Every structure is written in structure tokens, then in C-alpha cells.
A and B are shown apart, each in its own frame.
Chain A
Amino acid sequence: MTLNWKQVGQYGFIMGIAVWYVSLVGMVETFDSRGIIDGTMLTLGRALLLTIGLGMGYVTAWKVAKGNWATGLITSLISGIIGGVMAALLVIIIDTTNIRAMFVNASPALVEILTFDQESLAVGLMMLAGSLIACSVAGGVIALLPHLIRRAVISGLLAVLLMGMLGELLTVVLNRFDLTEALADFLYGRNGLSVIGAISVFIFFAAVSTLWATQKEKMQSGVENLPATQRRALSWGLIVVSVLFLILLPQAVGPYISQILVLVGLYAMMGLGLNIEIGLAGLLDLGFVGFFAIGAYTVALMTTTGELGVSGTAIADYSNFWVAIPIAVAVSAFAGVFLGIPVLRMRGDYLAIVTLGFAEIIRILVLSDFLRPILGGAQGVLNIPKPAVAYVNQIANQLPFYFQSVLFFFVSTDGRIKDPAHFYYIILIGCTLIGFVAYRLQYARIGRNWMAIREDEDVAEAMGINLIASKLLAFGIGAAFAGLSGAIFAAQVGSVFPHSFGLIVSINVVSLVIIGGSGSIPGVIVGSLVLVGLPELLREFAEYRLLIYGALLIVMMLVRPEGLWPSDTVRREMQSDEDVEPVPVGQTVPRSV
């Protein structure tokens, strides 16, 4: 067997370049303050390097050796050596020449991290190269393991990485309750997981993953074989448990994470809207933030107590958050249809560019002097009151004492929502509502229209589908969801500024839809948790957010183009690519086109 040595060299080279890159842009140093495993030298910064080693070793063995152990080990070793030597070279360059003029991050601190804090440079270099080589070989071994074990090892490693990374937060959360405090003490040291904690986490998640992989089908068929009444009871039970879970979640995780969940929810609502346009109807809309802005400004202008508000006009008495919400949704939906009309005939890239322009127009209009007297220009709209529950005291008087205290836990005596984190509940209701509507639409007739249009517009028309109505509906409903999200956002933040509605919001939403799994409702939720939630939890990431997005998008498109939680259609397509049924001999049909 001749091996493709050039390919092996390339993977090693990519490993080296990646190490250089993350080091020189400062990621390694920034991430280094976070420990993964306490008392060891494994910090997040170094974990990043080692993950590159593992990943490239994995790819090398996977692509070149194709299941052959001997070649897999040798090739991942060689690509590891190339990567390791390149990493060592970087340290030598930084140490001997002054390249800081060009690369500010090539600092002595970086050298210390790369050389594992060793006094002697030689020892440090050995450790750096050695650890990369070891990781590369380990990656190769993982790639060669049987499927089930490989899955378990990867799950375990990911869990350790993630739980180590989020250690600070998880300890705070676990320490909120006596019951879980002991668990926190067991799992965590001062900076990251304790060694024994890391081992336990690894074993636990590896076991869970294996159990899940082996028992999933048995469980599914077990559930399917239950009598109908029991199955109904089970699904109701699940619903009740998850509702309770969602209601109690903010109490369990505390205000900081609740605020993050609020943000995740806002993005999830937008994601569900954009998912209708991109995921179902195949309309690539890059200006989605425009509808979010329209919803936000509608609520802002209708409810603000500032000078831009409606106070003093005839409708002032009737204007509050609850009235403004449906109006904001309607205005956004109208804007969606309005934008939809001129772009009906456009497809793909053209549509993307026009929608991009639309969002910029909205932003620039809001910023303009011309509309400043109405929209407030760069100063935005301030003093947006928190939503209030009307007649709160009258309601409270009717309630038994215990429920009174529950009520006043959330709202103050004038009926206003007390804590920004309590917006969680409004958003939970919003998400549930939107999720439900999205689900019903997807499986209704209109959902099939969208799917057909996404697959092939011309054929869809030939089937008798009204393209114009279906597309406008997709734009309108998508925009309405975004409008609701924007409306809640305005009330939650209390002020709106044009700079909150930049292109980056659209990019975030497109990314979360695609990474979550285009066309899949749970995918959108998972996507928002990963792309919006995680970066908020890891504030050091902020600076590198777009970089990580980009890398993540590329990696996802390469290894899992269907997304984290793909829709049925896409899942099926991926499976059928892998195992097309062989056509029996004798009736082979030459494949044309």
C-alpha cells in the first residue's frame, strides 16, 4: 500500500500553522487564566493547543490510514512531529528575535505558557513538542478505535473540557444548594476540575454516551410498544417535568445565568423566525436584524416615558407593553411582506445581498438626522418602562397569602417586573408560543409549500404551489417572530440604540440556524445555546467571538454539515449518502445526469 505522504505532511503543517496562529493572535494567552484541571499545567490556553494536536492527529489517521492501525500510528506520529517542531520553532523565534513589533502577542508570557513554565528553554521545548506529538498520536488512536469506544472517549474528553472551562460558573451554581455543594467540592479545585473530579467526569460522560448509543433503540422500541394510554401518560409526564424544569431553572442557576438565558431566548426567537425563511423556504436573508429593530423601536416609541413617547397624545392612556407587543409584531410582519415584494423574483446570492442592504437602510434611517425627531438618532430611545401587570394589588387581594408572596416575588407593588432576570418568564412564554406556531406551520400545508420551494422553485410552481403567497408568508412570519423578539428586548433593556442592531446580529442568527441544523426547531434552540449562551459564559471569548464563529462554521461544514440537531429531511439525506442501497445485479441502472 502506498501512503499519501504529501497529505500527512500537509496535516502536520496545518497543525503547526494553527498553533502559530492561535498563539500569535493572543488566544492562548487570553485563555490561559482559566484552568481545566486544577494543580496541573492544563489550562484552557494549553488545552487549545493540545486540542489542535488531537484534532489533526485524528484527521491524519482518519484520512490517510483508513482504519489500518500501523499506518495510522505512524502517520499521526509524523504529522505530530511536524506540528511539534513547528511549535518549538515558534518559541525559538520569539525567544531569539524581537517580532513583537509585528505580533504584539508574541510576549514572554506566551513563551512561558508554550514551554510549560519551565526554567530551561530546552526542557520546555521538549515538553511542547512532546505533548503535541503525544496528542497527535492519541488523536490517531482515537480515530482508529472501534466506533462505540471512540464515541465514549470523545464524549468524555469534551465533557472534561467543557466542565473545566465552565468551572467557575458551575461551582457558583452548585454552591447555591447544600445538596450540591458537596458535589462541587468533589469535582472542583481552585482553578478548574480536581484531578479526581476530571477522571470522574470523563468516566461518567463516557459511560452515559455508551449507554445512550447502545440502549437508545431499545428504549425507543420499548416506548413504542407501550399501550397508547401509557404512552400518552409518559409524554404528558415528560411535558410536565420539562415545564417545571424550565420554570424553576432561574431559581436554580441564579441571576447571572438567568440573564444569559434571556439573551439565548431572544436569539432563539429570532432563530425560529429565520429558520422559516432559510431552513424551510430556502430564502437566504442576511438582513434579519432589520425586523428585530422594527419590533424593538415600535415598543420603545409606544411605551417610553421620555420625550419621544406618546405621552400627552390621545392614545397615551392605552399604550403599554402588552398593547405594544401585538402592534410591534404586526408592524414587523408588515415590514417583512413589504421587503418580500421587491425580492420575490430574486434567488440565492442576489436575495442575500438585497436583504443585507435592507438591514443597513433601516439602521442608517434610524441614525439619520432626518428621522431624529421621531426615532432619536444615535441617542436612541430611553426610559422604556418595564412591563407591568395591571391591577396587581386587586389581584393580590383575591389570592391566598402564599400566592401573594409568589406574585410579589416577581413584581413590585406597582405591578412592574422587579428583576431583569424575571424577563426570563416573558421570554419563555414567547419562545413556547413561537416554537408551537413554528411547529404547526412546518407540518401544515404551508410547510410543505416552503419545503418544495426550497428544493426547486420551478417544480414547486409546476405542482400548483403559489410561489408569491408562500414566499411572502415566509417573510412575514419570520419577520413577526423577530419583531416579537425585538419588542421584548426593548422592554428588557429599557433603551434602544441603533448600534444594537448591527450586521453582527444577523450574522449571529444565520450562524445559529446553520450550526444548529437548518430547518430544525430543536436545532435552533441548541444553536442559540451554543453560539449565544457559551460565549456569554466565557467572557474571554468576546474578543475572538467572530474568529471562533468562523472556525466553527468551517469545521461544522466539513464534519457535520447537517448541523448539531438536523431536521429529518437533512438527516435522511446524509444517511442515504452514506449507505445507498446497492442495486441488485441484473437490474443495474446506469446513473445519468
Chain B
Amino acid sequence: MMRSDVKNDFPIFANWKKKGKPLIYLDSAATTQKPQKVIDALDEYYSRYNANVHRGTYELSQLATDMYEEARTKVARFINAGKSESIVFTRNATESLNLIAYAWGLNNLHKGDEIILSEMEHHSNLVPWHIIARHTGAVLKFIRMSSDYRLDLQSLKDNLGPKTKIVSVVHVSNVLGTINPVKEICRLAHEAGALAMVDGAQSAPHMAVDVRDIDCDFYALSGHKMCGPTGIGALYAKYELLEKMEPFMGGGEMINEVFPTTSNYAKPPYKFEAGTPNIAGAIGLKAAIDYLEKCGMQNIMEHELELGDYAASRLAEVEGIHIFRPRATGTGVLSFTVDSVHPHDISTILDSEGIAIRAGHHCAQPLMRKLQVQSTARASFYLYNDKSDVDALAGALEKGIALFRPRKKANVVE
């Protein structure tokens, strides 16, 4: 059970008031709110032990370095990475995915090689591969989605072959909330001799993740989607693969020796962290993970699932609604459309009641086309939401829809 006073841990709920209405934040799939503990951790770093890392020869710098490395160890433990050297700090999941696309993809893919993605990918696991495919001549293939918004593993099996070099899929869809069977997908990829990457932007924040059990080669996450600061993310990679990979960016921190015309590189993960990293971000991410672990990942997942189910049943009563969510094992993500009201109008209607949802294509335009919609409205829940938030959502939605009730032609005289 989730504590009922979790909202109090997040100062924004006390600070943001729209026309005196409390903030009902249902856009955590976009970014999450930050607990005071995380804000304090940032403040403490800057006010007490700010220094650059890995190059200082004095105590303050050593302290900053220790804190930064502790954060790495924390992330490694959080997703059961085994060794902390398997964790590369990045800006966000997008950069983690790009890192692999560029550093691994550009150097290992050749004309005719195949990359398998799925029909429910976020643009961040799609557009980098478009670029790499254009450079290398590799070909993109897609795991089909069923009418119940699940990946059809048969279509993965049909697509896999000797030319498949990598399979990269989203763990939890940011639009549908579908939890994909990534362990099985990785097993099938490996059987075919391919590598497997998992986009964990929407799984790491919401459930206990074990990358070694999943047996993925690469896993991407974003700190800001899990109560951490913006500008910090992580890539998990099997260490042997990191050792074999070319660097992503060049500069300070990632080198060993530099000569006028050549250089050799530091060991991973440093080889992939060029320049001064987001030290404060990493420390903030550690504080976020500490916070989430205290709440309990199992707890968080169950809480969100309960809210997702409750919201799905409440909203099902709304006239003209279409909900895009798998029948079983959804998460706290709920995309929907309403026949007579455009998603953007829904968002404005809800905003006027202090309810923040997202309307749009959610960075998944190919999926929108597959769903045959231009956009959807999406409510996404996190540990600080409760049933009263769902009730507010349903109530405001009913009210707004009444405003858009079809009227007769010709203007109504008031």
C-alpha cells in the first residue's frame, strides 16, 4: 500500500495553485515531479561540495568524485547491473539510445543488415536508427502490434534472420502502457545471433527492473521520469560490449593519452563520458532512487496499476470514449480519445480544472497512424496520484464533453 501522504513529499503540490485549485498532475509519463529530498540533494551538492570530478588533486574534488561514483553504483544496483562500470551517465534515455545507435551501429552495421524495432516505439528509438540506416545501408523491420496493443512475437520470429544485427524495443509503451515481454524478446534476438536493446524510459520509474535477468545487452533510462532532475540519464551495457565499442563523443575525461594526431581512450564507462558530466544530476538521481526504493518499487507498480485500472473503468462510462490500453496487465498510462472532442480541447478543458494531462502524438507518430488517430489524450499516474485524482479527471471530462455536445446548425441565441 502506498502511503496516503506521499503528495506532501513533493513541494510543487503546495506551491502551484491555479485559481485556487490544487494541481492534479497526470503527466508523469512526460516528466515526474520532484520530491524535496531530490531538490535538497542538488542544493547540498552546489552549496557544500561542488568541484569537478576525476581530475581534482584536492579533497573537495575527491569528495565530489566519490558522490558521483556512488550515484553510478546506485543506478547499477537499482537495475541489478552487476558492476557499476556497466553504467554510463548520459543526458537522458534519448542520448543513451543514440549512443548505441552511433557508437555501436555506425561501426557494426553494413549494407543489408537488419535492425528490428517495434510498431510502438517512441521517436527516440526510431529516428536514431533512421539516421544510422541511411549512413550504413542497414534496413529497418518492425515487430507488429496486435489489436490488443501487444507485440506479436510471431512477427518478431518471422523477421529474425541471419541478417538481424540488433533488436531494440520499448519496455513499457509511453502511449499504451503495454509491458512488453523483453526477456523473451532478448532471448529470441540472442538465439538469432543479434544484440538486444531495451528502452526503459517508462519501466525504470515504475517497476523493479533486473537487466541481467532480462539479459538485454543495452538498457536506457531517463532520470527526470523517475523523480530525478532533468539532464541526467543512464545507459546500461554489458561491459564486454562497451570495451569493444568505439567512443561516442571525444573530449576530456574519456581519454587516456592524447598526441597531436592520435589518442587512446579511458576504460568504460569513462570512455563514453566526454567532458564534464552532469555531476549534480547524477547526485540528484541517486537521491531519487533512494526515495523510490524507500517507497518500494513493487508498491509503486501495484499502486499505478490499481489507478490505471480504476481510471479505465471510470472513463469507460464516458460517452463516445475510446481507450487504448491492453486488456490485462496495463500500467498507470491511459490514452484515450472522445468522439466529439479533440484531445487538445480535452487538455484545455481539464487544464481549466487544474488537471494536467498530455494531448498529442506523444513522440510516437507511427503508432498514432497505426491506431488511426491524429493524436490522443493521455493521463499517466505515478506514486503521488490517488483515486481522487481519477475522480476529478472523470468529472471534468464529463463536464467538458457537455460543452461540446453536438448542437444544431445556426448560432444559438443567448
Say whether A and B bind each other. Answer: no
